[in-house]
Amino acid sequence: MTREDDCLFCKIVAGDIPSEIVYEDDRVLAFKDISPMMPVHVLVIPKEHYSSIDADIAPEDASALMEAVSKVAHDQGIAESGYRVITNVGDDACQSVHHLHLHVLGGEKMNDGDPSVR
């Protein structure tokens, strides 16, 4: 497993920083966002360090992430009501943690307009 020393989410994967884990398997960790924007706000991350979805992601990690999103949505009770999956890449998208993470958001009706508003 590649680990970046200064990466917050690598530290969460290693257990050096506590998190509220809601799902874990060999490749993926999912935990509650520390400042939730919605009633359900979970971050789904690969355990392997990738800077963003724009990195060269191993197919096994990509598929594990997709499967984990759906498992998390079902476990969190938002699969039927609906949810949104967002991943920020780079400056214009205000990516603040440079370890690939998928925001899984739900539990409340969201806007259907401006894609820049989450």
3-state secondary structure of 8: helix
Q: CA 85, CA 102: separation in Å to the nearest integer?
A: 6
Catalytic residue list contains 101:
yes
Helix (H) / strand (E) element for 105: namely: strand 102-106
Give 28-48 as a DSSP string.
EEEEE-SS-SSSEEEEEEESS
Q: Which does 94 bind (CB under 5 to 8 A by kind): Zn ion, ligand AMP, none?
A: ligand AMP
From 55-63, 65-73, 74-82, 95-103, span contacting ligand AMP (CB under 6 A): 95-103
Q: How far is CA 24 from the centre of its chain?
A: 12
Q: Which does 19 bind (CB under 5 to 8 A by kind): Zn ion, ligand AMP, none?
A: ligand AMP
Pick between residue 3 and residue 60 the one whose CB is nearest to ligand AMP: 3
Report the interface residues with ligand AMP, using CB under 6 A: 8, 17, 19, 31, 33-35, 43, 88, 94-97
- Annotated catalytic residues are 101
